[in-house]
Amino acid sequence: MSGSNEISRRDFIKVTTGIVGGLIGVAIGLPSISYLIDPALREGGKDAWLSIGKFEDMQIGTPYPFSFTRVQVNGWERTSSSFGGYAIRKSDAPTDILILNSRCTHLACTVNWHAESDAFLCPCHDARFSKDGKVLDGPPPRPLDVYDEFRLSEDGHIEIFFKAG
């Protein structure tokens, strides 16, 4: 190479090897990073509006039971979880509904409406909740959870907004 502009055979090989190697590295390295971080770029569980029943089927003052299942897909694994609750109409207005989650706030058992005692009873630790979800008796630390986002759909169903997670 001494002083001449011509590139030696040896240097040509070195430079070419470097460039080709670099290209291969980039062509495989970038997809590899994408491959690694892919799950983090995905949206988590999907929030959705879910129908819980026809508005006309719900009678004023009587808790109306509903339930639904959500399936969460994580890679090759599917986990389905069941949810349920009671909708209690208070008046004719479709906005005047209390929608309770039937998951007991103590240890997540499912509470049931018991008409004779006019309360939601939890089978696990004898907790009792009033019709509007307040704790009457037992260990629960707080009232029943409430689905507070709901709407009346065009075909007459009450839909709640379900937030995943």
Partner 1 sequence: MWKKVYEWLDERLGLNDMYTNLLDRPEPTGNWWNTLGSASMFLFVMQGLTGIFLTVYYTPSPDHAYDSVQYIMEGVAFGWLIRGIHHWGATLMVIVVFIHLLRVFVTASFKFPRELTWLIGIGLFLATLGMGFTGYLLPWNQKAYWATTVGTQIAGSVPFIGEFILKVLRGGPELSALTLQRFFSAHIWMLPAVLAGLMGIHLYLIIKHGESHFPTKED
Which positions touch partner 1 (CB under 8 A)?
A: 28, 31-32, 34-36, 38-39, 41, 75-77
Give the separation between CA 49 and CA 147, rounded to whole angstroms: 11
Q: Give residue 145's identity as a one-letter amino acid code.
A: D
Closest approach of partner 1 to the CB of residue 100, in Å: 37
| Euclidean distance between CA atoms 38 and 71, whole angstroms | 21
Task: Identify residue 114 by its one-letter amino acid code.
Answer: H
Size of the chain, expressed as the number of residues it contains: 165
Q: Which is nearer to partner 1, 34 or 153 (CB)?
A: 34
Name the residue with tokens 């502009």.
5
Closer by beta carbon to partner 1, 11 or else 96: 11
Q: Least distance in Å: CB of 97 to partner 1? A: 40
Q: How many CB atoms lie within 10 A of CB 13?
A: 10
Q: DSSP state, 149?
A: -
Q: Which residue has the tokens 């430079």?
A: 15
Minimum distance, C-beta of residue 161 to partner 1, in the bound complex (Å): 28
Minimum gap (Å) between residue 64 Cβ and partner 1: 39
CB of 60 to partner 1, least distance (A): 48
Q: Which is nearer to partner 1, 41 or 71 (CB)?
A: 41
Residue 31 or residue 156: which is nearer to partner 1 going by CB?
Answer: 31
- State how far the Cα of 128 lies from the Cα of 136, in Å rounded to an integer: 5
Nearer to partner 1, 42 or 148 (CB): 42
